[in-house]
Amino acid sequence: MEARLLSILGIILVAQVGMATKLELDRQKIAGFWREVGVASSHSLALKTSRRLEGLFLTLSGGNLTVKVAYNNSGNCETENLVGLEMDVSGKFAFPGRREIHVLDTDYKHYAILRVSLHWQGRDFGVLKYFSRSLEDENEPGFWKFRELTADTGLYLLARQGMCAKLLKEELI
C-alpha cells in the first residue's frame, strides 16, 4: 500500500513539475561543477543517510552523462564515477542499478533542479534536489522555484556547506 501511494505521489509530483517547465536540455551548458544545496523527499531515508552527497561534476559525451560524485561519509570524503545513458526525454538519464536523473529546471549559470529516482530494497524512491554552481550562495531565484515545487513533498533538508564539494571543485579546476 505504501509503495503504491509513493508511486502515485511521484506521478503527481512529476506531473506538477512537468507542467511548470518543458526543458530542452543544452547538454554542453549543464556540464561542470554543481554543489547540492537542498533535498526534498517524502521518505526520511533519503534525508538520513550517513553518506551525504555534496557535489557533482557532470561531463557529457554523445548520449552518455558521466557524473563524478563527491560524498561525505561520516566526515570522510569519497568520490565515485557513474555513467548514465540519455533516455527518450531531454535531460533524463538512466544509470546502472535502476537509478535515473532528470534535469527538471536550470538556468545553467546558477542553479539546477533534478529529480533522482532509484529502486532500493524492493521500493521506489524519488528525491528532488537543488544544486548551485557556487560554493557559498544559496538564495538564488532557482532556490525559490525549488521551494515552490517541494512545498507539498513532505520532508525537506537544506544541505550543509561541505568540505567534499569544495575539494571536488578545487580538484577539477
Q: CATH number of the domain that 95 lies in? A: 2.40.128.20
> DSSP letters of 118-129?
EEETTEEEEEEE
Could you tell me which residue, 138 or 132, shows the higher pLDDT? 132
Cα dist from 78 to 7, 70, 139, 144, whole Å = 31, 6, 27, 30
Domain that holds residue 8: 2-21+28-172
141 burial via Cβ count (<10 Å: 0-12, 13-18, 19+): exposed
* Cell numbers at 89, concatenated: 526525454
What integer best gives the mean pLDDT of the chain?
79
Q: pLDDT band for 43, please (50, 70, 90 cuts).
A: confident
* The total number of structural domains that make up the chain: 1
Q: How far is Cα of residue 100 from the mean position of the Cα atoms in its chain?
A: 10
Strand 92-95 to 155-158 pairing: unpaired
Q: Are 94 and 84 in contact (CB under 8 A)?
A: yes
Q: pLDDT band for 157, please (50, 70, 90 cuts).
A: low
**For 36-40, 123-127, 140-144, which range has the lowest pLDDT when averaged over its residues?**
140-144
> Looking at the DSSP assignment, which residues form a beta bridge with residue 71?
53, 78
pLDDT in tens, 51-83: 788 999 999 988 899 999 999 988 899 999 999
Tell me the C-alpha distance between 69 and 126, whole Å: 18
* Cell numbers at 108, concatenated: 545553467
Q: Are 146 and 113 in contact (CB under 8 A)?
A: yes
